[in-house]
Structure 1
Amino acid sequence: MEEVNSPSVLHGRYELGRVLGHGSFAKVYLARDLRSGKGVAMKVVGKEKVIRAGMMEQIKREIAVMKMVTHPNIVELYEVMATRSRIYFAMELVRGGELFAKIARAGRLREDEARHYFRQLISAVDFCHGRGVYHRDLKPENLLLDDAGNLKIADFGLSALAGHVRTDGLLHTTCGTPAYVAPEVIGKKGYDGAKADLWSCGVILYVLLAGFLPFQDENLVAMYKKIRRGDFRCPPWFSSDARRLITKLLDPNPATRITVSKLVDMPWYKKSQIAKPEPLPPPLPQKVVEEEEEEPARLNAFHLISFSQGFDLSPLFENEDGGRREEGMRFTTREPASGVISRLEEVAAKAEGRIRVTKSGASGVRLEGAEKGMKGKLAVAAEIYAVAPSVLVVEVKRDGGDMIEYKNFCSQELRPALRDIVWAAAA
């Protein structure tokens, strides 16, 4: 995306400052409203990238949704502006960082502190559902905290409206983050957006109290089986009331899963607050990432399933002999993105001029042969995706040149260079 000059004034209304964060299609800038002097977060989306990715309808839906959901516990969208090349979202500036970061620092939260955030989460989610809005990607990374320690739901990019249901009254798009997605979303029979969101709320509550996920497995197929069965255990420090509530939220049968109207009458939810959450550390910018620091793209459940044959996610993991049923090569690794990139760049360096790096960044590396073969220059693209904070998926594809030359390169040079960083998950 073309850079926005900093500092600059947008439409004579907002003075843009430094970059606070960025993703695949957008950057977020610290900005100041020149009319009020108030700080805002300015999300800048490149139209060309969005159109190429076929995501313009998703952007339009996100705008429509955020205009509908003004609530104290939802990040507010002030206004939307556009030029020929960009779309600008002027949004509430939330300085307290992600709830995920607070959990990571504390290990886990006290029950009264978790209750404070969970009540605010349910209040906002119920408000959305009452307006026919379903978030579909609720997780601690999408829950921000303001200076006062109040929760704010962010990122409605995967949300759906009641008008998106089919004639059966259900949603059918598979999306969300694997560890937080409801079992019915993984299936092909459709799902109720409100009930799927409540499942995700149950996972969030478990994480707040435990400090880890209820459904964990090195193999994603095995993890999804646990999710479908509702196969989890509460740690011994959970109170009996917390256990009862979480069990009702993580009911794999959406027909019997607890509703908000019954949830708010549960003893754990109604219990009076004994203490306020601990004060936040000095305010951090919203989702702070220095401009020069990039991160791999994040995979949601839809991406994972699109990689696989039907719903069999086992192709994500290499067999010991490296055998594949297609020309691409995929593997999981616990190596950081920078380590994977270094290995790929080393392959080019050792090739002594036969292979060169034509692209290198957190999202992947592209290698190209120096000489033309029968079908042009060999080109190999390696794309890096984040499945979880410590797990990456690397997908290697032929991007040009002869297939035999590509296979020889993979078997003789690429696989040996990467073998010791491949995380071979149990089937």
Structure 2
Amino acid sequence: MIPTHRSPVRYVRDVGEITAQYEVLEKIGSGGFSTVARARERASLREVAIKVVDKTKYAAGDVSFEREVEVLSGIRHPNVVELYATYVTERNVFMVCELVRGGELLERVSQAGSFTEDEARVVITQVLRAVAHMHAHNVVHRDLKLENILLSDERDARGRSGAVKLIDFGLARFREANAPLRTICGSPLYIAPEILELETSANEEQCYSTACDMWSVGVILFALLSGYSPFDHEDEAQLYQNIRNGIYHLEPGVWDFISNPAKSLVAGLLETDPKERLSAEQALAHEWIVAAGAGATTVSSSGGDASDSGCQAPTQLDIDRAERLKHQAEIIRQVREEEALALKQANRTLTGGKPPTEVFTFPGGGAA
């Protein structure tokens, strides 16, 4: 069943109709296909994030930005970033979203090295609730990863962050009547083995399901607990072979101090057979998730005292592993930006070098 909640979509002639309603304050992020600005709604003074998607950077027939609007417009959950409104012009799509100030979970892992089990439980429980909600409404994300999870800026007396928010639904889609999925997509470190199998399978009936998201959750949990990725190989062919075979290494110096229930949940999520892999509902019922007396109820902020939260100060090895996670994520971003530039140049060639002139200007210079 597709949710009935829908945020409004308006088609406007120029960006002036948008800036009349929102004061653009600053650019806070950018990628190959979009730019994100912090803005203030003039009527309510509420601060929001505006994601500006440049349609000219997409190849003909690529509807990922439309899909993101469709999915986010139809789903509402405390752990999914909320889409308030969408404006569409000739060149751009402007997505007015909830402003989440706490930064990426990837950045927090980079700062902390690894999480305590209690803190990892807090994060994964919220992620699982969001995924369970999506799957119950026939939505599959297909790109769950540390950098697509944001932390809110709500903090308690110890300076610890509250809710996590799933973002970036560009690869997500609704599955009508559990329709088969066959598009090969996702991020290399988080992609499920059944998606990789589509590259080499001669079986035209082979497909995958929402279980691919659960594999990604397993990778995220592994990284939170250990500070490194379960599938980390510089050779891409070997990386994908390890994923297909479910081969990952539990380093004794790290995993000796992690409980058996936590290891059990990781194993249940990183099950190569999607039919045997834990669902979101099953994972939420796992003994490690429902463990009584969990000490932490929030995620420690980077500025907090490690001793206050029960978190051990990160070792140099922790920092090195976390930096590698960041480096791998940056490589993926650079590749996507290069692809976006190539697509933009191709589109300009097709249109005679005359893209739409519409410009969205940020304070201090720069435009989307």
Instruction: With the length of structure 1 as denominator, give the TM-score of the two structures.
Output: 0.62
TM-superposed deviation, 1:159: 0.8
Which amino acid in structure 1 is aligned with residue 145 of structure 2? Answer: K
Residue 266 of structure 1: which of 261, 286, 300 is its match?
286
Secondary structure in structure 2 of the residue aligned to 1:233: coil
Which amino acid in structure 2 is aligned with residue 102 of structure 1? Answer: R
> Are 2:287 and 1:277 aligned?
no
Gap change, CA 1:121 and 1:278, over 3 Å in 2: closer
Residue 257 of structure 1: which of 277, 297, 303 is its match?
277
Residue 137 of structure 2: which of 110, 122, 131 is its match?
131
Secondary structure in structure 2 of the residue aligned to 1:48: helix
Paired with 1:18 and 1:282, the residues of 2 have a C-alpha distance of 24
Which amino acid in structure 2 is aligned with residue 257 of structure 1? Answer: R
Question: What do the CA deviations read for 1:302-324 (whole angstroms, capped 9, x no partner)?
Answer: x8xxxxxxxxxxxxxxxxxxxxx
Q: How many pairs align?
A: 284
State the Cα RMSD in Å.
2.5
TM-superposed deviation, 1:161: 1.5
Secondary structure in structure 1 of the residue aligned to 2:297: coil
Alignment of 1:7-18 (within 5 A): 10-18=18-26
Paired with 1:296 and 1:225, the residues of 2 have a C-alpha distance of 20
Question: What do the CA deviations read for 1:163-218 (whole angstroms, capped 9, x no partner)?
Answer: 396xxx42000100111111000012544331100010011000000000111212
Question: What do the CA deviations read for 1:255-276 (whole angstroms, capped 9, x no partner)?
Answer: 2112233222221011132123
User: Any conservation in 1 of the 2:68–2:172 contact (CA below 8 Å)?
Assistant: yes
TM-superposed deviation, 1:82: 1.9
Paired with 1:247 and 1:278, the residues of 2 have a C-alpha distance of 24
Gap change, CA 1:363 and 1:58, over 3 Å in 2: closer
> Are 2:217 and 1:196 aligned?
no
Gap change, CA 1:244 and 1:278, over 3 Å in 2: closer
Paired with 1:232 and 1:296, the residues of 2 have a C-alpha distance of 22
Which amino acid in structure 2 is aligned with residue 175 of structure 1? Answer: C
User: Any conservation in 1 of the 2:128–2:283 contact (CA below 8 Å)?
Assistant: no
Paired with 1:28 and 1:212, the residues of 2 have a C-alpha distance of 28
Secondary structure in structure 2 of the residue aligned to 1:152: strand
Paired with 1:100 and 1:38, the residues of 2 have a C-alpha distance of 27
* Corresponding position of 1:242: 262
Higher normalized contact order (CA 8 Å, seq sep 6+, divided by chain length): 2
TM-superposed deviation, 1:47: 2.7
> Are 2:28 and 1:20 aligned?
yes
Structure 1, unpaired ranges of 5+: 1-6, 284-294, 304-361, 365-380, 384-427
* Corresponding position of 2:7: none
Which amino acid in structure 2 is aligned with residue 238 of structure 1? Answer: I
> Are 2:183 and 1:173 aligned?
yes
Alignment of 1:28-427 (within 5 A): 28-50=36-58, 53-54=59-60, 56-148=62-154, 149=161, 150-163=163-176, 169-188=179-198, 190-234=206-250, 235-272=255-292, 273-281=294-302, 298=333, 363=338
**Regions of 4+ moved over 4 Å:** none
Gap change, CA 1:163 and 1:120, over 3 Å in 2: same
User: Any conservation in 2 of the 1:10–1:16 contact (CA below 8 Å)?
Assistant: no
Paired with 2:131 and 2:233, the residues of 1 have a C-alpha distance of 28
Larger radius of gyration: 1
Instruction: With the length of structure 2 as denominator, give the TM-score of the two structures.
Output: 0.72
TM-superposed deviation, 1:56: 4.7
Gap change, CA 1:114 and 1:21, over 3 Å in 2: same
User: Any conservation in 1 of the 2:122–2:296 contact (CA below 8 Å)?
Assistant: no
Paired with 1:13 and 1:127, the residues of 2 have a C-alpha distance of 32
Paired with 1:216 and 1:279, the residues of 2 have a C-alpha distance of 26
Secondary structure in structure 2 of the residue aligned to 1:225: helix
Paired with 1:135 and 1:226, the residues of 2 have a C-alpha distance of 23
Paired with 1:84 and 1:255, the residues of 2 have a C-alpha distance of 44
* Corresponding position of 1:402: none
Question: Higher strand proportion, which one?
Answer: 1
